[in-house]
Structure 1
């Protein structure tokens, strides 16, 4: 039985990541637009954060006690085949979800203007598209809370919270900021008011707390499948980075010197440099 308080705690963590998307709209209260150079760098930072969270957070956690991290590097003991199989199946399922989501999003052809002029039917369509797009991030948050309330974490408001959960919540929140920027740019060009930019940015990530609760519930009632849960979240996020974030950055950077490669690589390095130390605290 999963306690109601734990579901509420995980939902709140997912809600924090959704609210973080709204931060991407705040710059438009002070400037009319964000330069392509900064946009590419932000996508690079988000990519570095997601890759770090996936590899050094979720994948290493899936391998559990078979991974030994020290100043000298990472050592890996022989891992049981079942655990590797679950991890591999999870990775493949995560990639498959994002692949299918790509087809759904492209088939839906949601115009950003619908955000500002949406009737009920359009809202249902938009929410459906956003669900398949942002659900993997929510799953990542949810599975990272698998050990919530179990000894070995850190105390927050009287609850024992796993360090991995803190790491993933911070990582997804930071990653959501450039997504908020990307959502706000076309809306701003259409004359959508600033406060609506914040609302639609947050709205785009509302599936995340829902995905977090669903994933958390699953790994709590079926803990033997926890490696698959970690793999699913990692596979989805890595595939998102490779098929959405980096291509988006390269598209935006076409007008920059060197097609924005310096800004993209710099952002990637910065994102990894910020998140990797947190993974080994």
Structure 2
């Protein structure tokens, strides 16, 4: 019974981070659009939060959990996280997303025939495909999208799950009768905050396609549904194989930092390409805000 209760708590924590993605779509209830400068800044905030929670939270905890000597499992986890994201991205690159029209709405350059050229990556395609699927109510496409989004959301869920590894031990923060590890509180709050600008980025092309406000909120939450699933799987793994806990910390950290380096930052710079500083200033400011917003939680 205790295990079931723990699993429910971890699932709820992951679900809260997913619901936070929907908050990013709420501003469209009041405004019609966001400037490129604002969008780049939001990507910077998300990147700063991801890097901070990975380095100061997961890597630090992984080092503390590792046995004396070289942290082999932690380093192995870091590399495994990077490899998973890279291999998954290469597999996704083989998909024909079929988003000619949606890509145009999302602002991608088109040829005269409507076929996108100089495609900067699959992020725009995925978001545009999700927008189109929600607009058309296409269940098959939505299932495909959920699988695709798992690549991006699953590592964040893993980060939440492994942070609950010491659930119930002395020294935790009392939450609903549970002794929740401080790292778990920190990680859940951090991922939830990080998901807000992600939700905004997802909602932008949906606004261009004329989706209703509540559909945009639902689509944003839908994009993060793999997180509670990843949280439960990771929690079960590190609970049953506690000696592999450093590997779990490293895996989540490696995947998240790699996502920032290969997708978040390039996405931000692409969005800000027409700005006076090509988005570099807005990205740096946003990144700094993301880091500084997490430091008080890190040093609690």
| Residue 195 of structure 2 corresponds to residue 195 of structure 1 | no
TM-score normalised according to structure 2 size: 0.86
1:165 aligns to 2:165 (yes or no): no
Quote the residue 1:145 is aligned against. 164
Segment of structure 1 superposing worse, 243-252 or 98-107: 98-107
Q: Is the contact made by 1:104 and 1:129 (CA closer than 8 Å) also made in structure 2?
A: no
The answer to whether 1:210 aligns with 2:199 is: no
**Equivalence for 1:80:** 69
Q: Which residue of 1 is the match for residue 22 of structure 2?
A: 22
1:63-106 deviation per Cα after TM superposition (whole angstroms, max 9, x unaligned): 1178xxxxxxxxxxx9423xx11001100110011112212333
Secondary structure in structure 2 of the residue aligned to 1:172: helix
Q: Is the 8 A contact 1:63 1:79 kept in 2?
A: no
Match of residue 153, structure 2, among 134, 139, 142: 134
User: Where in structure 1 are there 5+ consecutive unaligned residues?
Assistant: 67-77
Moved beyond 3 Å, runs of 4+: none
Mapped pair 1:182 → 2:201: yes
* Aligned residues of 1:136 and 1:233 also touching (Cα < 8 A): yes
Q: State the match for 2:59 in structure 1.
A: 59
Aligned-residue Cα RMSD (Å) equals 1.5
Single out whichever of 190-199 and 107-116 deviates more from structure 2. Answer: 107-116
Corresponding residue to 1:104 among 91, 111, 119 = 91
SS at match of 1:155: strand
Question: Which protein is richer in helix relative to its size?
Answer: 1
CA distance in 2, matches of 1:184, 1:120: 19
Cα drift, residue 53 of structure 1:
0.2
SS of the residue 2:75 aligns to:
helix
Q: Structure 1 stretch 113-122 or stretch 186-195: which is displaced more?
A: 113-122
Q: Is the 8 A contact 1:2 1:220 kept in 2?
A: no
